[in-house]
Structures are given as C-alpha cells and as structure tokens.
Amino acid sequence: MSTLRGSTAVAGIGITPHHKRGTGGPALKLALEAIVAAAEDAGISPADIDGFVSYGSERSEGQKMMPALGTKELRFAALAWSHGGGIPGALNIAASAIATGQAETVVVYRSLSEYDGARLQVDVAQNDTAAQFLVNGLDSPIQMCAINTTRLIEGEGVPAETLKAMAQAGYHHAQQNPAAVGHGVQLTAEKYENSRWISEPYRLFDSSRENDGAAAVILMSAERARDLTEKPAFLLSAPLGTPAGWGPLEGNQNPLWSSGFSSVAKRLWAESGYGPQDVDVAQIYENTTGMGVAAIIDHGFCTLDEAGEFITFDNLIAPDGRLPINTAGGNLAEGFIHGMGLVVEAVRQIRGTSTNQVRGCSLSLMTGGPGDAVVSSALLGTEETL
Amino acid sequence: MSAVFTQEKFRGGIAADDKYWEALADGEFRLCRCAQCGTWMVPAHYRCGACGSWEQVWPLVEPLGTIYSWTRTRMAFPRTEARADDVPFVTALVEVDGTDGARIFGIVVDTGTAPHIGDRVRGEIRPGTEKSFGYPTIEWQLVDAPTPAPGAGSTEGARA
C-alpha cells in the first residue's frame, strides 16, 4: 500500500477561461497562463517549479516552458498513462517525486487548443484506437462509451434516468458559476429528452464539451504547503491502476458495464482510511453521463440495484444532496480541458471557495476518465482529515 | 476502393491480430487461441498470460453468436465520414459461440429497429471497402435460431 497519505498537498490552482474551440490561441501559452496563475495562487515564483507532470497526449512539455517560466532547474518530468483516466495518477506521480526528494514543487497540468492541435478525439485517440472499432463505424469515444452504457442500462437494468440526472446536475451547478460554458443554459428534462441522439443510448447533452484552455495545480510537501497557504488540500490517496480483465480489450473487458475502477477504488478507500459514506463532494469525470454513473457505482456509493434510487438530481446537487457532483458544472457544463478543471474544483471545495460550496466540506473526491484502459482516483482532504 | 488493410494498418490497440484480418480476407472467421493451454486470446496477443506460451493457433470458428452490447450511431463522425449515408447504423459487440465468451464487433444488417442484448446473430464476411478502410469485416445478421445447447459457449450475453 502507498505510504504517501497526506505527505503532499495542493497549494496553488490556476485555470484559464474555457475558450471556444479554435479561439484560445497556442496551447503552450495557455499552459503558461494556468501555471503562472497557480504559482501566484500558491505564493511562489513560477521559476521555483522544478517538476512537471501531465497525462494523455500533452504537448506542452516542461522543457518547452522553462525559458518562459524562468525555471532554474527541471528536476522531474513525467506523463501518466493513459488518457483522462490518468489525471489523479498524475497527482500521485507528483506526490511520489516530492516524497522521495526528487523534486520540491511539482505542477500537474493539462493544456489543449485547436489553434495548434486537432480535436481531442483525434489528438488523443487517433493512433490509439484499435481496428476493431474503426472498421465497424466506431470512431468517437462517445460511441465506445455507448457500448459500455448499453450494458449498464439494458444489461444490468440501471434506469436511463440516471444519465439525465448526471447531465442536469452539471448544468444546475453551472448556473452559479459565471466561468462555466453552460452558464445561462437551463437544461430542463424536456430539453434533455428532446435533444438529438448521438450514439444510443447517448444524446447531445450526455457528452462532454471540448474547449481550448489549460488548468494547473501545484503540489509540494504538506509541511511547506502549511507555511504558504491557509487551507492546503492534502492528497490522501490517488491510486492508478487496472484490474485483470480490464484494459484495452476491445469490448472484452469485464464487467463491461463498469468504468474500470474496481481495483483503484478499493485501494483509494484502504489508503485513505475513508469510505464512500465519508465523502462530502465528488468531481466525477464524465466523458459521457453513463460512464460517470458507472464510476459512482464502481466507487461504492451505491450498488447497481440502488443506482436508480441514489443517482437522482436531488442527490447530486450542492449544498444538500447526498453526493453533490461536478459543482463547477463538470466536463458537460463548465467546459472541458481534458478533465483537469475537475481537479481545480476539487481543491476549491476543500478551500471553501466553490461557487456551489458544500458546507463543512472536508473530503473531496475526483475520479479520472472512466472506461479508460488505466484509471485513477484522488481523495483530497483538509488538515482535520489527516 | 481504398488500399488494402495491410497498407494502411491501424496502430491502435494491442494490434497483434494481423491473422484475424488476413483470415477474413480469405473468407474465414478465425480467432486466436493459446497453442499450449487453449485459452482464447481475444484480442490476440503475443504471449499467453495464463500459461506463458508464445505460440498461438487460429482455429476456424463458426460465425454465430449473441449480441452482448450495441449502439446505434445517429450522426456521421469525422473519421467514419464514409458511413454518412448509412446513418443510423448499428454496431454490435457479439459474444461468439464456443469461445468462452470472446466478443467481436461488427455492423448489424439494417432491420429498421434497434437490436437487443441476447439477440442471436450470424456473421457474413464482407470484403474491405472505403467504409472499413480497406479492412475485411464481419457483418452480423439477426437470426431466429434457438439458443445453443449448454456447454456450447458462455451464456452470459443472454442473461438480460
């Protein structure tokens, strides 16, 4: 079991606006904006960042940013597998580097822009999609997620209403967040139900957006974070992994209805010493609503049988739902920087600065890209949770 | 007609399944099995994780199975633009009889309605076209066959 519990904390967060696709300018510049903002937020000089960790197909490598950040020495750099599944795992890599003395101040970040990149589905998935999918008309991640979610709904009997609840919760929270792309968009049940089909069982509002932007968080030792900031968000656990029977198996994963978190969730609760009943708020990466539903089930918040009863709009909204999720709007309604915005929001909840703040929040969960070949989850906590 | 699949090979996934596509091109449906312990290896791989053997066999398999999951695509996506005229089209994940539950994707011949998990299907091998990037494919057709006898294959896909 990991011995990193509480040894590091997030001391700084930074996020650019969620620009419309193709309008955000160069990804490298966006990365710099987010990282400099995170450094200022932490009260350090950007030049002091000595470690860079990202995931997926990040192209704004630390070594490219050094001249602009004034980096004194790059001491650590790494990329977590696989796609969005690796986000909390990137935090874990950063924590490992800090705890073992390889680096002191590590930024975990993601930047993307169609100004100089392709659409995410091309940039990320182009050379990572097996022939079995492509030759049979399956191109986009939403179609592949649809295959999993048909098993969830038709195969396991989880009500399709859970998908609508996920979508509506995100849009509901976006109404309080002026920075959200979905701010001002009321997603009524009628609007959801009348939206066009994309790939059954998914409609337009079941799918995440794509934006140009960047987001970053700065990790350092818990001790230093306490000196620098009022409310560090301590990293309690952030395991990355996949069980036997899961991975890039072209529809042969078991159980296929799942999002692949069974082994990671078990380690998350064992390492952190907490369980789903203790979590105050969760940022659930939803490339599609149904995969988010499966992630909630995978993490033990409810069983397949209880999902219809548990995953309802009322239960998913702040401040009083049983499990408020995606409180800045999530990938659906806040905007999509390959899921990195969810980490920033998870930290805001620990600080008490979310636009949909959960009262007395002390344990904040972020689950990585569901259904990915390798996945990860992170539990952040306040000083009292250590 | 676009180039044959070997000239524009997709690099995604494990991609140890050249023999699968070569067999389809020859009009045969063959799946990968460990030569030593008999474990079905779908998707194919270079080494059997169960027994450690590096040898595989590719037995002929009857293209008969049960729909395990499916999606009906309702819009044309960038890389599958060639299928724009086919929208909506159904892609199914089929659990193949007699393979301990190995699943293979394929387009389902249009019946005008959505299929169901548990529907029985028979595969027909189709030559590569622009829509399949030159890869030969297996296309599934709904059949009204009785469910296979116990022991003939996994029945997991039929439980819904």
Q: What is the full per-residue pLDDT of chain A (386 aa) written as tens digits?
A: 789 999 999 999 999 999 999 999 999 999 999 999 999 999 999 999 999 999 988 999 999 999 999 999 999 999 999 899 999 999 999 999 999 999 999 999 999 999 887 766 666 666 788 999 999 999 999 999 999 999 999 999 999 999 999 999 999 999 999 999 999 999 999 999 999 999 999 999 999 988 999 999 999 999 999 999 999 999 999 999 999 999 999 999 999 999 999 999 999 999 999 999 999 999 999 999 999 999 999 999 999 999 999 999 999 999 999 999 999 999 999 999 999 999 999 999 999 999 999 999 999 999 999 999 999 999 999 999 99
Find the CB nearest B117 among A119, A154, A198: A154
Which residue range(s) make up the domain with A272?
A: 8-120+213-385
Interchain contact A3–B (C-beta under 8 A):
no
What are the tokens at A65? 């940013």
At A126 the pLDDT is 61
Asked if A134 and B42 come within 8 Å (Cβ–Cβ), the reply is: no
Find the CB nearest A199 among B69, B71, B86: B71
In the stretch 234-263 of chain A, residues with CB closer than 8 A to chain B read: 248-252, 256
Residue A156 belongs to a domain: no
At A75 the pLDDT is 98
Q: Could you give the ipTM of this predicted complex? A: 0.95
Residue A96: which CATH number?
3.40.47.10
Cα–Cα distance for residue pair A272/A256, rounded to 1 Å? 27
Asked if A250 and B43 come within 8 Å (Cβ–Cβ), the reply is: yes
Using an 8 Å CB-CB cutoff, list chain B residues near A82. none
Structure-model confidence comparison of residues B155 and A264, the more confident one: A264
Find the CB nearest A134 among B73, B79, B114: B79
Residue A376 belongs to a domain: yes
At B9 the pLDDT is 84
3-state secondary structure of A329: coil
Indicate the residue type of A87: I
Give me the residue label for tokens 């078990």: A266
* Number of CB pairs, chain A paired with chain B, less than 8 A apart: 138
pLDDT-derived band at B153, boundaries 50, 70, 90: very low
pTM: 0.95
Cβ contact A375:A369 at 8 Å: yes
At B4 the pLDDT is 66
Interchain contact A386–B (C-beta under 8 A):
no
How many CB atoms lie under 10 A from the CB of residue A313? 17
Q: Which of A240, A238, A267, A347 is nearest to A6 (CA)?
A: A238
* A61 Cα to chain B: minimum distance (Å): 23
Mean of the per-residue pLDDT values for chain B? 89
Find the CB nearest B133 among A130, A134, A197: A134
Q: Which of B41, B73, B96 to mutate to test the interface with A (most CBs of A within 10 A)?
A: B73
Q: Which of A342, A380, A327, A373 is nearest to A110 (CA)?
A: A342
Residue A126 belongs to a domain: no
At A43 the pLDDT is 97
Cα–Cα distance for residue pair A260/B156, rounded to 1 Å? 19
Indicate the residue type of B150: P
Q: What is the mean pLDDT of residues B85-97?
A: 97
pLDDT at B149 over 60: no
Q: 3-state SS of chain A: helix, strand, coil percent to 5?
A: 40, 15, 45
Chain B CA closest to residue A132: B105
CATH class for the domain made up of B18-158:
mainly beta
pLDDT-derived band at B147, boundaries 50, 70, 90: low
Asked if B69 and A148 come within 8 Å (Cβ–Cβ), the reply is: yes
Total domains, chain A:
1
3-state secondary structure of A144: helix
A216: left (phi over 0), alpha (psi -120 to 50) or beta: beta
pLDDT at B78 over 90: no
pLDDT at B151 over 60: no
Residue A20 belongs to a domain: yes
Chain B CA closest to residue A125: B12
What are the tokens at A79? 């990329």
At B3 the pLDDT is 42
Give me the residue label for tokens 């799946």: B31
Using an 8 Å CB-CB cutoff, list chain B residues near A129. 10, 12-13
Highest mean pLDDT out of A144-153, B78-87, B105-114 = A144-153
Asked if B159 and A201 come within 8 Å (Cβ–Cβ), the reply is: no
Asked if B9 and A131 come within 8 Å (Cβ–Cβ), the reply is: yes
Q: Which of A35, A66, A59, A52 is nearest to A116 (CA)?
A: A59
